[in-house]
Chains A and B, each alone.
Chain A
């Protein structure tokens, strides 16, 4: 939909980790406007840590992360608030506020951060909820929703301020294949209709082939990016055995690892 390929996120030689211990190093990639970009990796490969750095919850140990032309680590005050408003985050567990209805959850960012008139907030919250297929559940409490519905509600809340970028942490984790496929469709549809850039952290192969325009795969042994490219190409052309196994969903041939 977008003709110009402007770069929305630029990650340059980033090293991330906890408490002085690096989990990933030498990470560089760029995300262009309107694409669905997937960060892929096995369990414990540092996907979620990288995401925490991308959304500004942690600061990288080295390197820089630029979002919409602003360095996330050095932005302060008004500039940082503006930047944070440009993206929405849907957490793995949904992280909906349990004491509020779904509608109130979606309204909350608008209530707190904008001067929109009340009826418009309601209009927008209802429209987003209908878009994610939760229109009739607007009055329910988060605890009354199923796992898939909670994730969709989380996406709806992340979309409340019309962000340019949406970060999703493991959207299909813990969902059945049908629900996961529905969610994939939703992501694809939102990206297409609204031109929102998606950065998705995932290990779900089936969904990658549906949603991803581009993928990077993190390697837990070398602690850096193993490959980058379009998912179908990677499946056919990857030479690294671990990457091939991952994309073809094969088990490690060496059964002795199981200690049977």
Chain B
């Protein structure tokens, strides 16, 4: 069995008296040679009806696992379902291995080819149950965070301020370059595109009013929150998810430390503190982008300043601030919740981060709409 010469496999198919066939394998049966042999046997045996098949393995020089599989396949009669098959001439060592896997084993272990039919009620039920349990978990999480929020902040010992600082730096300070780039570009592009329409009415100067309102009330908070979700909401989910997979959360609980108090509140606090700052920064740069367009059109600095201050009210700025606080809470809480919900398995952390980002962005947009309606009625 240990001869390593790489000569080819010869498959000699002989037909004797009617209904009788004989296969002689000669040479080297390995991964590379079984394919050709298989083809030859299949074509040769399909053509005629065989009642008795004899397999002669006495001239095999080498037979590896794949060769053994071919011998078994033919030997078990799977190629000639109606024939009585006998295999002879195997090397005793090979024969011992050959006998270890029989037709009964093959039939018992084969995956059933029956396609499982999915039932729609089953799927619907499963979906509803999952949605319900997800809702339940979200409500529980919300309740637990609310219950623990103030007590954790009150007690000096439980809020780990260095950790808050770390999150603040990673999610806030480190995000400044990307927030700058995105905000200024969005400001520029919006101003540039709308100026072309305003020009029909000779009202180009109002681009400044427009960009001021749109940035302060809508896009500033939205851009900051979306970037926070992509950069940090996902990071929260990944961090907590990895901790869950590594049983670090279990370790915390056995110390009597509540993961909500120990890990989640810190992140939410940091996010709530940093989103207003990030929002102001994003708003400022967005307006700057619009103002640059106004300057390019030849408007004077004093005119632009006048238009901007005239169009913005304090209430607009408060609305932006309120949105920023809400968005920060949403992004951080959703990120942490998805992290804590991480399941077992190699792709679980990836799934959690995706869910965190998607849910954050959806909730941000929904909350934005709620704010718009609320503000409209409050103003009346």
Contact = CB atoms under 8 A, between A and B. Distances in A.
Contacts of B1: 1, 195
A99 to B, nearest CB: 7
Contact of A136 (B34, B100, B109): B109
A138 B111 CA distance: 8
Interface in A108-133: 110, 114-117, 119-124, 126-131
25 contacts: A1-B2, A1-B93, A98-B345, A98-B346, A103-B111, A116-B38, A119-B78, A120-B38, A120-B66, A120-B69, A123-B106, A127-B65, A127-B68, A127-B69, A128-B65, A130-B100, A130-B105, A130-B109, A131-B100, A131-B101, A135-B108, A138-B111, A143-B344, A162-B66, A194-B65
Contact of A135 (B38, B64, B109, B344): B109
Given A193-B97, A194-B97, A126 B2 contact: no
A159 interface: yes
B150 to A, nearest CB: 40
B73 A123 contact: yes
Given A123-B72, A126-B109, A99 B35 contact: no
A159 B65 contact: yes
Contacts of A139: 111
Interface in B62-101: 64-66, 68-70, 72-73, 78, 93, 96-97, 100-101
A137 to B, nearest CB: 10
B97 A161 contact: no
Given A99-B347, A124-B68, A127-B72, A138 B96 contact: no
B30 interface: yes
A33 B72 contact: no
Contact of A129 (B32, B109, B344): B109
A1 B69 CA distance: 22
B366 interface: no
Contacts of B31: 85, 110, 114, 116, 161-162
B110 interface: yes
Interface in B100-150: 100-101, 105-106, 108-111
A127 B93 contact: no
Given A1-B93, A114-B32, A124-B65, A98 B347 contact: yes
Interface string B40-79: 0000000000000000000000001110111011000010
Interface residues of B, number: 33
Contacts, number: 95
Interface string A1-19: 1101000000000000000
Interface string B1-40: 1100000000000000000000000000011101100110
Nearest to B73: A123
B66 A116 contact: yes
Contacts of B34: 116-117, 120
Interface in A2-42: 2, 4, 33-34
A115 B111 CA distance: 21
B2 A2 contact: yes
Given A124-B66, A143-B345, 20 more contacts: A33-B2, A85-B31, A99-B346, A103-B111, A110-B66, A114-B32, A115-B32, A117-B35, A120-B69, A126-B105, A126-B109, A127-B69, A130-B100, A131-B101, A136-B109, A139-B111, A160-B65, A162-B31, A193-B97, A195-B2
A135 B107 CA distance: 11
Contacts of B101: 126-127, 130-131
Nearest to A119: B73
Contacts of B32: 114-115
A143 B347 CA distance: 12
A193 B39 CA distance: 29
B106 A126 contact: yes
A160 B31 CA distance: 10
B345 A123 contact: no
Given A123-B72, A127-B101, A162 B109 contact: no
A193 B70 contact: no
A117 B105 CA distance: 20
A159 B69 CA distance: 13
A117 B38 CA distance: 7
Nearest to A135: B109
Contacts of B65: 124, 127-128, 159-162, 194
Contacts of B78: 119
Interface in A128-182: 128-131, 135-136, 138-139, 143, 159-162
Contacts of B345: 98, 143
B111 A123 contact: no
A121 B1 CA distance: 21
The 6 closest A-B pairs by CB, nearest first: A162-B64, A162-B65, A124-B69, A98-B346, A123-B69, A127-B101
A4 to B, nearest CB: 8
Interface in A69-121: 85, 98-99, 103, 110, 114-117, 119-121
Contacts of A135: 105, 108-109
A114 B33 CA distance: 10
Contacts of B109: 126, 129-130, 135-136, 138
A161 B32 CA distance: 10
Contacts of B347: 98-99
Contacts of B38: 116-117, 120
B37 to A, nearest CB: 10
Contacts of B105: 126-127, 130, 135
Nearest to A115: B35
A110 B70 CA distance: 14
Contacts of A128: 65
Nearest to A160: B65
Contacts of A4: 2
Contacts of A193: 93, 96-97
